[in-house]
């Protein structure tokens, strides 16, 4: 028996006050059973981790969403954009944001006849992003609201692909990159600076629910052998 009805999910994804859907997704997935439940879960997965481009790519997998639901997904897509480019110091031309197929923000706005500057102003007023906008482009100050992060230990994706669709939401992907950085950059540098005979170690936590991985900085080859394993749910 499902926890949420279709109407409840619609109200949830359209809500101006909810921007993180992972808790609802986990509860719904644990209690699902039939085909209707499947589309409800897929839609909550989209709003947890995805963006408007994913909606267009896998539209048949989701429930029908209204203009208000599309607007909310565009808002989430813009939050993803700001999260992904947090720390970028140069102005980003507005046209490049609107035409970026990775997020499809321009396509979403066109579908509901909503202007980009109005979107940005509303998100600033709602304290979702901190940016400056003018005719020359968008200057990202900092992320305020963060999208949900994905971990296989909490939920297994049904529609989206972890590494092709949501690499920036994936804890495993981020930690694999961190592991590679340790192997390729930090270990050789530390080896060149450490006195001979010392074997410093670093503990890398794969995610909050997994076992730490011990890296022996005295051996780059051994460190590569301890590369973060894929722990499928």
Bridge partners for 170 per DSSP: 150
Scanning the chain, the segments in alpha helix (DSSP H) are 6-14, 22-30, 35-49, 52-57, 67-84, 94-98, 105-111, 116-125, 171-181, 187-193, 220-225
| Tens digits of pLDDT across the chain (233 residues) | 445 789 999 999 999 999 999 999 999 888 876 555 789 999 999 999 999 999 999 999 999 999 999 999 999 999 999 999 988 889 999 999 999 999 999 999 999 999 999 999 999 999 999 999 998 899 999 889 999 999 998 999 999 999 899 998 886 655 555 555 456 555 566 666 666 555 555 445 555 444 454 444 444 444 444 444 454 44
What are 131-157's pLDDT values in tens digits? Answer: 999 988 999 998 899 999 999 989 999
What are 193-232's pLDDT values in tens digits? Answer: 666 555 555 445 555 444 454 444 444 444 444 444 454 4
Q: pTM (2 decimals)?
A: 0.75
CA distance 146 to 49: 11
Structure tokens at 191: 């080896």
């Amino acid at each position: 028996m499902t926890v949420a009805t279709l109407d409840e999910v619609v109200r949830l994804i359209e809500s101006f006050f909810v921007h993180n859907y992972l808790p609802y997704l986990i509860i719904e997935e644990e209690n699902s059973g039939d085909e209707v439940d499947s589309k409800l879960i897929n839609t909550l997965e989209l709003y947890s981790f995805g963006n408007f481009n994913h909606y267009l790519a896998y539209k048949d997998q989701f429930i029908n969403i209204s203009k208000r639901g599309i607007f909310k997904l565009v808002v989430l897509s813009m939050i993803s954009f700001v999260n992904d480019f947090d720390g970028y110091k140069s102005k980003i031309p507005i046209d490049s944001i609107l035409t970026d197929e990775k997020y499809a923000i321009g396509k979403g706005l066109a579908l509901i006849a909503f202007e980009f500057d109005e979107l940005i102003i509303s998100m600033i007023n709602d304290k979702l992003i901190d940016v400056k906008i003018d005719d020359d482009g968008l200057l990202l100050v900092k992320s305020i609201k963060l999208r949900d992060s994905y971990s296989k230990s909490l939920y297994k994706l049904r529609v989206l692909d972890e590494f092709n669709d949501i690499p920036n939401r994936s804890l495993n992907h981020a930690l694999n990159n961190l592991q590679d950085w340790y192997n390729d950059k930090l270990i050789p540098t530390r080896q060149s600076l450490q006195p001979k005979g010392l074997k410093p170690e670093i503990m890398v936590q794969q995610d909050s629910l997994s076992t730490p991985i011990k890296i022996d900085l005295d051996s780059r080859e051994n460190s590569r052998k301890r590369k973060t394993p894929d722990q499928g749910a």
